[in-house]
Amino acid sequence: MGPSPLIYSGVIIILVLISGIYINSAWQWNDQVRSPLLNPVPSQPLDLSSAPGEIPSRILVIINETRQSLDLIAAIPDENRTTINTVIRFEEIMTACDDQTLLLSLIADENPDPVVTSEARNGIGIRDAFLNEVYLRSDMAHALSVVVPEGKEEQILRQKHLENFNFAALPEDKKTKLMRPLENLSAHEKQYAVNQQAGNASSNLNLMSRIIADRQEIVSLLGYPSFADYQIARSGILSDSECIRQTLYTIASPICRLSHDEAAVLLKKKQITDPNATGVFDYEIALLKSRLLNATGQISPNDVSPFFPVGPVLGRMNQVFSRIFGISISPVDQVPQFSPDFTLYRITDPETDEIRGWFYLGIRSDQGLGTSSGKTYYLRAGREENGTWIPAVSAIILTTPDITDTDRDVFTQAELQTLFHEYGHMLVHSLATSRYATLTSGAHESSGYIEIPPLFLEQFLWNPEILDQISGTRDGTKMPKMMQDQIIRSGGRESEYTRVYDVFLSLLDLSLNAGNETPDFLNLYSTLYEDCTGFQSTSGGSALLMNPAFFISGNAGTYWHYVLDNAYAHSLFERFIKAGVMNQSNGISFREKFFEPAGAEDSVVRMRNFLGRDPDVIRCSHTS
């Protein structure tokens, strides 16, 4: 997921491949009032207004200005190059481009005018194509490689930028050889996406083997044994696909075993009415849910919700995380809002009152949605400018399947978990303190480790002390101890199945991308599925061919990272349990060693610095 724009699709990119989580915004809700909508810092307004027709012309202006500025850098004679006129100048130019275009994702998702949302979506495509153009420039790759900065942070900055030019920096003959397979891959992936839209699974089954072959051809030209190995190298893990496979199996086996136990319980229940039944099918999981709930003694989500009233819970969450991490999170009134459902929050340093970051929080409804979902948009990265700190800005949007935005005044357990998750994305973006935007921006986090902070934050919800502080009805009734215990025992899951499915997808992703021949996908799917979950697969393989997040997204070949990140998150949280979960000096240590150096220091190094030892997640009998 991170940079290396070039390798998998013709459309790239840095920002876009990152896990569906990010970015920017700009617009207006009302034709009459053209006020900037996100304007937390009067001296540095984020101009979010946009009338129909405005985005297309604005994006061209941004691209032209950016291109001209880059040409000026390229024109500097090598002997006159300095860190300031080349590396830092490049950083400033690309950050300015980010600041103006990151907004497009939020507009594309949230603007009420369909003309504007479609313009925003096109704008993202144009921006991405332009970024491709930038990162293919060998004159830029050369310029950045000539200067060797003295400062540590500047060295990291240059390294981070240079990584995006991997392709441009290759020798010409290699580039020529790569052109054809890259074009093929791009064309095949586009067709795959078209088939998904059209619901044509069988065509995608054929395309899948061609895409696997394209990927294989590309990565072997780059010197990697498989696409998965290429993705592993890019994610910064010093390991190979065999080692990752062993690690995944170590993590997977106990989870798979629990799912098998569940399947066995369900089979017994099923045999009461159907004595000849020999297995439970995947489509029966939902049917048997109530039996499952009874069987494992868990509770109904409807009983839990009244203990999570929206307003009070948000206030308690902000208090809890403020206390733990030694920060202050408070709502800001009387700021121009882009919708009455959005609240602006300010994160400050309680000692100096210095502002660390701003974030918007919005809860909205989408009737077409089956379940709730969350998304964090990185709107502006924090950085130093002229000696002062420009705070980061982000927005969290929680979307519920309700009919109207005002339908509900309580969270479900799952929504609260999503919110904790998005807080993790938001906090790492808000609290990073590097001097340079590229390093502080979660949007530029190039490794596969970006899900560690959100998965880590989720852990807090399933802790008795935190759950006790967060929960409680509007009229002040505390959550019964028995309910708390049950919630904690379940770890937020209605069944083990939800957890095992992620593990299964990770194993499947690795099997698909780690070999050098094309597997029989449907067969691989059902064998692995039954092995891992204990349920029998029916049409799951075909359904997965229609899932845009799986085979051709930026997650391809790194899907397993989520499972690994979860193991890292557990490892980090263990220290919170040992120290006492509300222990502030432990929380501040986490903020200083993990959140603040984000981007400027590898995730693994930050974890090691916090834990005082290796996080000890990757284990295998051989090392590469």
394: helix, strand or coil: strand
- Least Å from the CB of residue 555 to Zn ion: 11
Alpha carbons 323 and 328: distance in angstroms, whole number: 8
**Which among 149-157, 295-303, 448-456, 522-530 is the span making contact with Zn ion, rule CB under 5 A?**
448-456
Find, among 198, 262, 345, the residue nearest to 532 by Cα. 262
Alpha carbons 465 and 163: distance in angstroms, whole number: 43
- Least Å from the CB of residue 451 to Zn ion: 5
User: Closest CB to Zn ion among 207 and 381?
Assistant: 381
Containing H/E element for 343?
strand 342-348
User: Closest CB to Zn ion among 448 and 454?
Assistant: 454
**Which among 73-81, 228-236, 295-303, 453-461 is the span making contact with Zn ion, rule CB under 5 A?**
453-461
User: Closest CB to Zn ion among 1 and 266?
Assistant: 1
Q: Choose which of 374, 454, 597, 599 interacts with Zn ion (CB under 5 A).
A: 454
Q: Does 374 bind Zn ion (CB under 5 A)?
A: no
Q: At what angle do helices 201-221 and 172-198 cross, to 10 degrees?
A: 170
Taking the CA of residue 407 as centre, how many other CA atoms within 13 Å lie in the half-sphere pointing to its CB?
14
Q: How many other C-beta atoms can be found within 10 angstroms of the C-beta atom of residue 352?
A: 8
- Least Å from the CB of residue 563 to Zn ion: 13
Q: At what angle do helices 452-461 and 413-431 cross, to 10 degrees?
A: 130
User: Closest CB to Zn ion among 571 and 586?
Assistant: 571
- Least Å from the CB of residue 607 to Zn ion: 17
User: Closest CB to Zn ion among 309 and 454?
Assistant: 454
Containing H/E element for 465?
helix 464-470
- Least Å from the CB of residue 373 to Zn ion: 11
Q: How many other C-beta atoms can be found within 10 angstroms of the C-beta atom of residue 181?
A: 18
Greatest Cα pair distance, the chain, in angstroms, is 84
User: Closest CB to Zn ion among 472 and 554?
Assistant: 554
Find, among 177, 101, 116, 195, the residue nearest to 443 by Cα. 101
User: Closest CB to Zn ion among 497 and 562?
Assistant: 562
**Which among 220-228, 266-274, 384-392, 450-458 is the span making contact with Zn ion, rule CB under 5 A?**
450-458
Find, among 591, 622, 593, 618, the residue nearest to 606 by Cα. 593
Task: Report the site for Zn ion in 143-202 (rule: CB under 5 A).
Answer: none
DSSP assignment, residue 601? B
Q: What is the size of the binding site for Zn ion (CB under 5 A)?
A: 1
- Least Å from the CB of residue 550 to Zn ion: 16
Q: Residues in the chain, how many?
A: 624
- Least Å from the CB of residue 562 to Zn ion: 8
Q: Using CB atoms within 10 Å of the CB of residue 302, give its burial: 0 to 12 exposed, 13 to 18 middle, 19+ buried.
A: exposed
- Least Å from the CB of residue 565 to Zn ion: 9
- Least Å from the CB of residue 421 to Zn ion: 6
User: Closest CB to Zn ion among 149 and 424?
Assistant: 424
Q: Which residue is nearest to Zn ion (CB)?
A: 454
**Which among 287-295, 320-328, 382-390, 446-454 is the span making contact with Zn ion, rule CB under 5 A?**
446-454
Alpha carbons 565 and 451: distance in angstroms, whole number: 6
User: Closest CB to Zn ion among 27 and 423?
Assistant: 423
Q: Residues interacting with Zn ion, by CB under 5 A?
A: 454
